[in-house]
Amino acid sequence: QKEVEQNSGPLSVPEGAIASLNCTYSDRGSQSFFWYRQYSGKSPELIMSIYSNGDKEDGRFTAQLNKASQYVSLLIRDSQPSDSATYLCAVPGNDYKLSFGAGTTVTVRA
Amino acid sequence: GAVVSQHPSWVICKSGTSVKIECRSLDFQATTMFWYRQFPKQSLMLMATSNEGSKATYEQGVEKDKFLINHASLTLSTLTVTSAHPEDSSFYICSARKGPFEQYFGPGTRLTVT
């Protein structure tokens, strides 16, 4: 099973600030990387996919991938209270199973 | 989009009875679906991989005779919890694979066994 590690939380940011989430993975051959958001009591929701080195932006979310350093990050700009959730980094294996990080819980303070 | 539904969203059953949970991909076909379980404040735990037209593969420690999985079509997988006991009470979540690797999760089914 591939190892995926996320920076330990919880992370508390004021409304309007940037929340920065980091994730490292062990398998240098990994090609696909995903960020899921999970609200308390709900199921995970796919919010970002990234496959190539560099940045990928989608609204207030930016995913950054650096395959040489084996890390992927997620930036949430202009954080809103509705962004308060647990964010999961996920990397698929050859058998399509996802390896998840432990998750980083983000709290956005109004 | 990629929408996955689950039914029921919650269920209460008596100890010793069986419960069936359905997972459907509504707008795409999924040759592979996954079943997870999540206890409060814990991480997702993969229970099994469900492949259309073939037997499910179970993760270590998951009893295949207790958690019956059927993937009868490209849009439907079912999980049956047989002879449920209070310790089976949990949040059961399915996901469906779209494309090479992306997985989309259903809304989950909260099972309470009394």
Residues B56-110: tens digit of each pLDDT? 999 999 999 999 999 989 999 999 999 999 999 999 999 999 988 899 999 999 9
Tell me which residues of chain A have a C-beta less than 8 Å from any C-beta of chain B: 32, 34, 36, 41-46, 49, 88, 90, 92, 95-98, 100, 102-103
Distance CA A86, CA A105 (A): 4
- Which amino acid, residue A49? S
Residues B23-46: tens digit of each pLDDT? 999 999 999 999 999 999 899 999
Calculate mean pLDDT across residues A61-86: 97
Please provide the DSSP assignment of chain B as one string: ---EEEE-SEEEE-TT--EEEEEEESSS--SEEEEEEE-TTS--EEEEEEETTS--EE-TT--TTTEEEEEEETTEEEEEE-S--GGG-EEEEEEEEETTTEEEE---EEEEE-
Percent of chain A with pLDDT over 90: 91
CB of B32 closer than 8 Å to CB of B23: no
Placement of tokens 């991989």 in the chain: B49
Mean of the per-residue pLDDT values of chain B: 95
Give Cα A79 distance to the centre of its chain. 15
- For B110, other C-beta atoms within 10 Å of its C-beta total 16
Chain B residues in contact with A100 (beta carbon < 8 A):
43-44
Shortest alpha-carbon distance between residue B57 and chain A (Å): 11
Q: How big is the A-B interface in CB pairs under 8 Å?
A: 46
Whether the predicted pLDDT of A83 surpasses 70: yes
Q: How confident is the model at residue A14 (pLDDT cuts 50, 70, 90)?
A: very high
Q: Do B43 and A100 touch (CB under 8 A)?
A: yes
CB of A90 closer than 8 Å to CB of A101: yes
Q: What is the DSSP letter of A101?
A: P
Q: Which residue of A has its CA nearest to B41?
A: A40
Distance CA A101, CA A82 (A): 22
- Which amino acid, residue A19? A
pLDDT given at position A9: 82
B40 Cβ contact partners less than 8 Å away, ≥ 6 residues apart: none
Q: Is B103 on the interface with A (CB under 8 A)?
A: yes
Q: How confident is the model at residue A2 (pLDDT cuts 50, 70, 90)?
A: low
Residues B93-107: tens digit of each pLDDT? 999 999 888 999 999
pLDDT given at position A55: 97
